[in-house]
Amino acid sequence: MPDLRFAGIGMTSARTRDRLVQRLREQGITNLAVLDRIRNVPRHIFVDEALASRAYEDTALPIGFGQTISQPYIVARMTEALLEGGPLFNVLEVGTGCGYQTAVLAPLVQKLYTIERIEPLVQRAKQRIKELGIRNVRFRHGDGSLGWKAHAPYDGILVTAAPLVVPDALLQQLKVGGRLIVPVGPEGQQELVRITRKEQGFHRQSLGPVAFVPLLSGIT
Summarize pLDDT for 49-77 with one digit per residue, the tens: 899 999 999 999 999 999 999 999 999 99
Q: Is residue 214 part of a domain?
A: no
pLDDT of residue 201: 96
Residues in the chain: 220
pLDDT in tens, 136-149: 999 999 999 999 99
pLDDT in tens, 175-216: 999 999 999 999 999 999 999 999 999 999 999 999 999 999
pTM, rounded to two decimals: 0.94
pLDDT in tens, 81-108: 999 988 999 999 999 999 999 999 999 9
Round to the nearest angstrom and report the end-to-end CA distance of the chain.
34
Structural contact between residues 76 and 35, judged by C-beta atoms closer than 8 angstroms: yes
The DSSP line for 93-130 is EE--TTSHHHHHHGGGSSEEEEEES-HHHHHHHHHHHH
Q: Is residue 73 part of a domain?
A: yes
pLDDT of residue 85: 86
Read off the CATH number of the domain in which 125 is found: 3.40.50.150
Closest alpha carbon to 186 in 159, 205, 161, 204: 161
Catalytic site residue from 70, 145, 206, 217: 70
Closest alpha carbon to 160 in 102, 220, 202: 102
What is the C-alpha to C-alpha distance for residues 146 and 14, in angstroms, rounded to an integer?
A: 39
Distances (CA, A) of 152 to 32, 54, 79, 217: 29, 37, 20, 20
Q: Is residue 149 part of a domain?
A: yes
Closest alpha carbon to 78 in 41, 46, 38: 38
pLDDT of residue 144: 97
Closest alpha carbon to 163 in 113, 114, 215: 215
Count up the domains in the chain and report the number. 1
Q: Is residue 42 part of a domain?
A: no
Give me the domain span that covers residue 144: 60-209
Q: Is residue 198 part of a domain?
A: yes
Structural contact between residues 98 and 66, judged by C-beta atoms closer than 8 angstroms: no
53 tagged catalytic: no
Q: How confident is the model at residue 5 (pLDDT cuts 50, 70, 90)?
A: low
What is the C-alpha to C-alpha distance for residues 70 and 59, in angstroms, rounded to an integer?
A: 7
Q: Is residue 216 part of a domain?
A: no
Q: Is residue 91 part of a domain?
A: yes
Q: How confident is the model at residue 2 (pLDDT cuts 50, 70, 90)?
A: very low
pLDDT of residue 82: 98
Q: Is residue 51 part of a domain?
A: no
Query: Which residues, in sequence order, are bridge partners of residue 137?
Result: 112
In this predicted structure, the answer to whether residue 112 has a pLDDT above a threshold of 70 is: yes
